[in-house]
Structure 1
Amino acid sequence: MYHLTSDWLAQLPVANINHFEPVSGGDINESYAISDGTHKYFMKVQPGRGKQFFAHEVEGLKLLSQAANTPEVVAFGEINGDGYLILKWLDQSSGSQFELGQMLARVHQIHRDQFGLDHDFTVGKIPKHNQWQSKWQTFYVEQRLKPLIELAKQKQRWNKNRSQHMSNMIEQINEYYANQPVTPSLLHGDLWSGNFTFSNGKPYLIDPDVFFGNREFDIAVTTVFGGFSQEFYSGYNSIYPLKKGVEKRLGWYRSYYLLVHLVLFGETYGPALDNVLEPF
C-alpha cells in the first residue's frame, strides 16, 4: 500500500483532511476513504502515473451521467507525480438489478456515427487505441483484439492452439459484420460485477472505460464472472431488446475480456480463454 504523508494530504483541494484509511477498490488503484470531519470521500491514487491517468475515467463518468447514476467527481489532479481522483462517498445499499439493466440500456441508447472515442488511453497497463472507425469489425479486431494478442505473445502466454482458434473467430467476426449493420453505442467498457453498486436503493455505474462500440460487448462482459441476475437482462431488454442470436456472438467478446485477464494476471485465466475459443 502506498504511504500517504500528511504533507501529501495537505496538498489536496479538499481542506482539513483529518481521517483516511485504505479501502478495497480493485487491483488497479490504491483506494482510500478520506474525511474532513463533515464529508466523506472516496479517493483513488495512482503512484507515479500523473493526472492523465484519471482524466479518462472522469470523461467516462461525465458521458455515462447523461443516462446513468454515477459517483460525483469532486476533484482530480496530481501531487508529486501521483495521480489522484476524489469522488463523493456512496453508502452501499441493496437495489434492483432490473433497474440496473434498464439504466444500462439507456446508456446504450446514446449513439454516435462511428466507433471509438475522441482520445486514446495509453497510460494504463492495457493501452486502448480509440481512433474513430466506420466499421465495428475494424475497430474491434484491429484496436482491441490484435494489440492484446501482441501483449500475450510478449509475455509468452500465447500458443499455436490459441492462435488458430482466434484466427477462426476473427474470420467469423469479419464475415458476419460485413452484412450486419451496427449502431455505435456508448459503452461502460469494463462492466463486471465490481463496477456497479447500489446506494440509497439506486443503481450506480463506477470505474468506466468508455468508448462507442457494439452494445453486445458490454453484455458479454457481464456474463464472464457472474454477478448479474436474470432480472438485469429482463430490465435491459424491456428498454432496448438485444438482437436475435446474441448468445452465439457473446463468445467473440468474452474472449477479449479473458484475454485481458490472461495478459494482466497470467496463465490462471488460460483455461477459461481456451474454453471460450474452443468452438471457433
Structure 2
Amino acid sequence: MLDPQRVGELLGVPVEEVTDRGSSHSWTLHQARMADGREVFVKAAHDQAGVFAAEAAGLRWLAEAGPGAPVAEVLAADDHHLILPWLAAEPSTPAAAERFGRELAALHTASPPSSYGASWAGYIADLPLDNTLTDAEAWPRWYADRRLAPFLSRAARHLSESDVALVERVITEIESLAGPPEPPSRIHGDLWSGNVLWSGGRGWLIAPAAHGGHRETDLAMLALFGTPHISYVLGAYDEVAPLAGGWRERVPLHQLHPLLVHVALFGGSYRSAMIEAARSALG
C-alpha cells in the first residue's frame, strides 16, 4: 500500500529506504529514511482518505493549543498516506509521566474551543464519529447522542437485550451521572496508552479522534488499558488544572464509549468490561 514515490513527492525529497512496521486496522505502518537524512513514520492505506484527513486535522488542531503541546507534527497527508516525524520510542519514566500530565492539562485548558464536536468528519479507528458542532447542548446530552447511542447500535449484535437496556438506561439518566458542568476542552478523544508515544523524555499524542469534549474523557481513557506511571500523570495534571470533585467515580461513564467501540470492532470479548462500566456509571 505504501507508495515511496508519492511519499517523496509529498516531502519534496526521495525515499532512500523503507522498513515495514506492521499493520493496524485498515492500514500499514512504515519507517522511511529520506534522502536528506530525515526518518519519518508513514501510515499507508489503499483507501482511507477520511480517516487520514481526520487524523491530520485533529493533530494540527490539538497543536494549536500552544507551542508546548505534546502533539506529533503532521509533515504531510493525502488520501493514501499520513506522514509524521519518526519518534524513537523509549520506556516511560515517572519524570516523563509528570511532564506529560502537566502538558496535557495545559492542552486541555489553553485556547479552549467554543463548542463540543469538531469542524471535520471524525473517526475512531476506522469507524465514523459524529462530530456535529453544537453550542446549544450541554456535554451530557452531546455525549449520549453522539458517542453512546451510535456505538450501542453498532455493538448491539454482540449484546443481549438486557445489555442494550442497561446502556440505554445510562443514556436516559446521563444528566444526573455526568457531574458538574464543564466547558469544552481540546481533547485527544482516543487516549488509550497505545496512543501516547514516549520519546525524548516526554509523552507525545498520536492517532487522535480529536474534538471539543470533556477533559475527563482523556483521563478516563488513559486508565482503561494501563498507561505506565499513570499516578504521576494524574497527580501532575491535577496540580495544573484541578479536576471537579467526584471525577474518579465518573471514570466508568467516560470509558463506556471506547468500550462500546471495542465491542463493535472486536466482538463479545469486550462485553463484560463494557457491562461493568455501564453498571459502575449508574452507581
**What letter is aligned with 2:90?**
S
On the 8 A contact 1:46/1:53 being kept in 2, the answer is no
Q: C-alpha offsets along residues 132-188 of structure 1, whole Å, 9 cap, x if unaligned?
A: 2231122101111111111123xx1122221222122223322345x8322111101
Matches within 5 A, 1:148-159: 148-153=151-156, 156-159=157-160
Give the whole-Å Cα distance in 2 for the aligned partners of 1:169 and 1:259.
13
* Unpaired segments ≥5 residues, structure 2: none
2:166 maps to 1:168 = no
Aligned twin of 2:72: 71
2:254 maps to 1:253 = yes
**What letter is aligned with 2:223?**
T
On the 8 A contact 1:49/1:123 being kept in 2, the answer is no
Q: C-alpha offsets along residues 78-98 of structure 1, whole Å, 9 cap, x if unaligned?
A: 4xxxx1011111122345101
Change (3 A) 1:221 1:105: same
Matches within 5 A, 1:136-155: 136-153=139-156
TM-score (norm 2): 0.87
Aligned twin of 1:107: 107
* Unpaired segments ≥5 residues, structure 1: none
Give the whole-Å Cα distance in 2 for the aligned partners of 1:206 and 1:25.
15
**What letter is aligned with 1:84?**
H
Aligned twin of 1:269: 270
Which region of structure 1 is more displaced relative to structure 2, 166-175 or 128-137? 166-175
> Which of residues 29, 36, 57 is equivalent to 2:34?
36
Change (3 A) 1:10 1:223: closer
| TM-superposed deviation, 1:11 | 5.3
Change (3 A) 1:248 1:7: closer
Give the whole-Å Cα distance in 1 for the aligned partners of 2:145 and 2:116.
12
On the 8 A contact 1:100/1:232 being kept in 2, the answer is yes
| TM-superposed deviation, 1:278 | 2.9
Give the whole-Å Cα distance in 2 for the aligned partners of 1:232 and 1:6.
38
Change (3 A) 1:217 1:73: same
| TM-superposed deviation, 1:124 | 6.0
| TM-superposed deviation, 1:10 | 6.2
On the 8 A contact 1:23/1:32 being kept in 2, the answer is yes
**What letter is aligned with 1:253?**
H
Aligned residues: 270
Secondary structure at 1:116 match in 2: coil
On the 8 A contact 1:258/1:273 being kept in 2, the answer is yes
Give the whole-Å Cα distance in 1 for the aligned partners of 2:6 and 2:133.
39
Secondary structure at 1:42 match in 2: strand
Give the whole-Å Cα distance in 1 for the aligned partners of 2:102 and 2:142.
27
Aligned twin of 1:204: 204
| TM-superposed deviation, 1:9 | 5.8
Aligned twin of 1:186: 186
On the 8 A contact 2:159/2:271 being kept in 1, the answer is no
**What letter is aligned with 1:36?**
M
On the 8 A contact 2:158/2:263 being kept in 1, the answer is yes
| TM-superposed deviation, 1:238 | 0.9
Which region of structure 1 is more displaced relative to structure 2, 103-112 or 164-173? 164-173
Secondary structure at 2:88 match in 1: coil
Change (3 A) 1:53 1:168: closer
| TM-superposed deviation, 1:26 | 4.1
**What letter is aligned with 2:56?**
V
Give the whole-Å Cα distance in 2 for the aligned partners of 1:197 and 1:122.
20
Aligned twin of 1:93: 90
Change (3 A) 1:9 1:254: closer
| TM-superposed deviation, 1:31 | 0.6
Give the whole-Å Cα distance in 2 for the aligned partners of 1:5 and 1:204.
26
